[in-house]
Amino acid sequence: MRPVYLDVTRLLKGIFFRKRATGVDRVSLAYVRHYGEDARAVLAARGHHFAVSHQASRRLFDVIKHYYEDDGRVERFLLANALLSSARSRIERGGVLIHTSHSGAEFDRYFRSLKLNGVDVVFMVHDLIPLTHASYCRAGTAQVHERRLRSALSMSSGIIANSRATLDDMAGYAASNGFRVPPAVVAKLAPGTEIGNDATAPIAGPYFVMVGTIEPRKNHLLILDVWRQMVERLGASAPKLVVIGREGWKCSNVIDLLKNNALWQGTVAWYPDCPDTALGGWLKHARALLFPS
């Protein structure tokens, strides 16, 4: 089996800044679980990268899994110790680097140096939203994401797409910009949140759940408008809406609405920092998961 390397830079940043796992993080974590026993960890910053030893990689992978699977109860000094004790080394010729997040891919010298040293890069593309729907993203994101996509198309030996729609979007971009799509596959995403049978209902009465970072393309405004109309008709007897997700970008209007408790008469609740153990309970007993993307 060829040596496998996993870029875990984004996951480590999440631990340092005490962030909950997003969808991209959960995908990266699934690859750590699958390959962690044999793979080595790679860290990158602004196009510069290094690998760590097998022993140090296992320590890093254990810290990563413990943090994201145990509701963030990992002290950052454990991660710092694991990093400080990690001997840096080059990625072996003939190895395969699996890059499961977009983070850092805008620095093409990262992948160019690997290619020159006989390392194959397999790049995961999660979406082209910053290019197809730039108005929903932060200023400058489209330019950064285009550099990432160009790195993936020009320097990777293989592409993993998270959906057929993403792969079709990428093929369309490649055809319009003179690129050839490397061998590509649509792969299953990370496993869903595990929900135990003993998860009790967090609140009494019917409620609906919306999960995801607060950002324009998730369309929280539509759901809040629906709930406003229900509250106007039904008052406090309206079903409850539980919004789970941290504050993102271009969302100040949504945040203001979520914080306006008087407007909702207790029917809308926002949890910006919800651990997976609690998330499982919310999902298990909800009437439905809403996602009006």
Residue that has been written with the tokens 């810290």 in this structure: 63
Q: Which CATH class is domain 4-186?
A: alpha beta
Domains 4-186 and 207-290 share a fold: yes
Q: How far is CA 217 from the centre of its chain?
A: 15
Question: pTM to 2 decimals?
Answer: 0.86
Q: How high is the pLDDT of residue 133?
A: 93
Q: How high is the pLDDT of residue 19?
A: 85
Please give the chain's pLDDT, 293 residues, in tens.
Answer: 789 999 999 999 998 888 888 889 999 999 999 999 999 999 998 888 889 888 889 888 988 988 887 765 665 556 666 665 555 677 888 999 999 999 999 998 999 999 988 999 999 999 999 999 999 898 899 999 999 999 999 999 999 999 999 999 999 999 999 999 999 999 988 766 666 667 788 998 999 999 999 999 999 999 999 999 999 999 889 999 999 999 998 999 999 999 887 888 889 999 998 988 888 899 999 999 999 98
Q: How many angstroms separate the first and last alpha carbons of the chain? A: 41
Beta bridge partners of 243: 210, 270
Q: How high is the pLDDT of residue 193?
A: 65
Q: How far is CA 98 from the centre of its chain?
A: 15
* Distance from C-alpha of 168 to C-alpha of 51, rounded to nearest angstrom: 33
| Domain residue extents for the chain | 4-186, 207-290
Asked if 66 and 72 count as a contact pair (C-beta separation under 8 A), the reply is: no
Structure tokens belonging to residue 248: 């993102």
Q: How high is the pLDDT of residue 184?
A: 97
Could you tell me which residues come within 8 angstroms of residue 160 by beta carbon, excluding any fewer than 6 positions away? Answer: 100, 122, 123, 124, 125, 184, 185, 186, 187
CA triple 72-74-76, angle to 5 deg = 115
Q: How high is the pLDDT of residue 30?
A: 93
Q: Which segments within the chain are labelled E, that is strand?
A: 4-7, 40-45, 48-52, 88-89, 96-99, 120-125, 158-161, 184-186, 207-211, 240-244, 268-271, 289-290
* Distance from C-alpha of 61 to C-alpha of 32, rounded to nearest angstrom: 7
- CATH number, domain 207-290, options 3.50.30.50, 1.10.1660.10, 3.40.50.2000, 3.20.20.70: 3.40.50.2000
**CA trace torsion 11, 27, 187, 119 (10° rounding):** 10
